Amino acid sequence: MARAGLDTAAVVRAAAELADEEGVERLTLAALAGRLGVRSPSLYAHVDGLADLRARIGVDACRALRDALAAAAAGRAGAEALRAVAGAYRAWALAHPGRYATVGAELASAQTVREAAAGVVEVMLAVMRGYGLEGEDAVHGTRAVRSAVHGFVVLEQQGGFRMAADPERTWERMLTMLDRGLRDPA
Amino acid sequence: MARAGLDTAAVVRAAAELADEEGVERLTLAALAGRLGVRSPSLYAHVDGLADLRARIGVDACRALRDALAAAAAGRAGAEALRAVAGAYRAWALAHPGRYATVGAELASAQTVREAAAGVVEVMLAVMRGYGLEGEDAVHGTRAVRSAVHGFVVLEQQGGFRMAADPERTWERMLTMLDRGLRDPA
DNA sequence: ACGCGGAGCCTATGAGTATTAGGTATCCTT
DNA sequence: AAGGATACCTAATACTCATAGGCTCCGCGT
């Protein structure tokens, strides 16, 4: 029987794609094995069970998200950086719903994901410095922006914006609120 | 053998408590049946399977949350109403993590939950009227507040605020941002 | 007072899941 | 070419939800 030639990275990547396409809840070892042309016990050679697989997806997702944010922030400051980073965050989350949901789910349970998520926060803290915020002020600002953006993205993905008003306009206004709040912290 | 004397409401209530105590992912028919002193197939007399059970928890949760928000909003307007409603939202979600998570999970799939969630939005729209916002402006305001509050609550529950800064202060500042943004929409 | 119908719970069973144990075949290195 | 490590397999266990069909108790109507 021909070998599929898998390794951990390939398994995790395929799992992330499966989660994005079918939804996190339908990411099962059986489905993943089927997609890879392999029996499910074979996956244990590359990954230590479903929980480990999910944690690995979360770590990879955090790094990819951080890279996307860092690219968006490059060469910008202040309101421009805020809008670029927030837009990149939203775009990445919408493009990779399964990966993004995994980060949220694993944040509470997987230490490795928490550490990887710190990289995302790093980029946001850098944006705060562009507003002249340091130390605790920067933390408060980062948390507020992260809360708003995360909440918006989650609600948008869940189809939470069903009333007759353009979500793009809501997004714009929310960013304006955040920008003004960061410019003049209470 | 003695009957347990269950009905749909009792089953759903027990399931909601189980979800709050053990976490949504550990809400299984087997565990619920065990807690109720019954075999799992017996639950199908009261509830149409796990998906239906989750949807019912979501609907009940939306109503309880709406009632909590409405009580907080009663007799208040403007910034005072915003703070009271947001505080009630956060407190309810933290006190009922399983129920709250169920709402989020079912929003995307269960029509009944979506309808029940509209009641929560109603209360927020009323708060917007206290800011003089009507129509689309009120919708944008509601979405921004909901995004920020929901995001904050989710991150707080996931243990996402690990840096050395008081989350209460972040919460305060975020509400100030929202209040100012609603007072003077762009 | 009595029996009958329905409600409430049961056992038995099936299909799905993750996971472990242990065996086999393939690939790479030496 | 030999040998060891690696990749994959089958088999089996223990959990999950879900369905089918049966038994028993309770209350209602006669």
Distance CA A150, CA A154 (A): 6
Per CB-CB distance under 8 Å, the chain A contacts of B152 are: 143-144, 147, 151
Distance CA B10, CA B32 (A): 11
Q: What is the pLDDT of residue A6?
A: 86
Domains of chain A: 50-183 (1.10.357.10)
Intra-chain end-to-end CA distance of chain A, in Å: 67
Tens-place pLDDT, residues A103-126 = 999 999 999 999 999 999 999 999
Contact B146 A146 (CB under 8 A): no
Q: What is the pLDDT of residue A185?
A: 76
Tokens of A104: 């949220």
Helix (H, G, I), strand (E, B) or coil at B41: helix
Tens-place pLDDT, residues B116-162 = 999 999 999 999 999 999 999 999 999 999 999 999 999 999 999 99
Q: What is the pLDDT of residue A1?
A: 52
Is residue A108's beta carbon less than 7 angstroms from any atom in nucleic acid strand D? no
Tell me the residue type at A103: V
| CA neighbor of A66 nearest in space, from A11, A109, A17, A113 | A113
Tell me the residue type at B57: I
Is residue A25's beta carbon less than 7 angstroms from any atom in nucleic acid strand D? no
CA distance to A96, A98, B74, B131, B175, per residue, from B80 (Å):
38, 38, 11, 11, 11
Tens-place pLDDT, residues B3-28 = 667 889 999 999 999 999 999 999 99
A186 in reach of chain B (CB within 8 A): yes
Residue in A140, A151, A176 nearest the CB of B150: A151
Distance of CA A26 to the CA centre of its chain: 19
Tell me the residue type at B122: E
Q: Which nucleotide's C1' sits nearest to the alpha carbon of A33?
A: D8
C-alpha dihedral over A149, A152, A158, A162, to 10 degrees? -160
Q: What is the pLDDT of residue B68?
A: 98
Amino acid whose CA is nearest the C1' of C16: A30
Tens-place pLDDT, residues A92-105 = 999 999 999 999 99
Per CB-CB distance under 8 Å, the chain B contacts of A147 are: 147-149, 151-152, 155, 174
Other Cβ atoms less than 10 A from the Cβ of A2: the count is 5
Contact B140 A170 (CB under 8 A): yes
Helix (H, G, I), strand (E, B) or coil at A160: coil
Tens-place pLDDT, residues B42-71 = 999 999 999 999 999 999 999 999 999 999
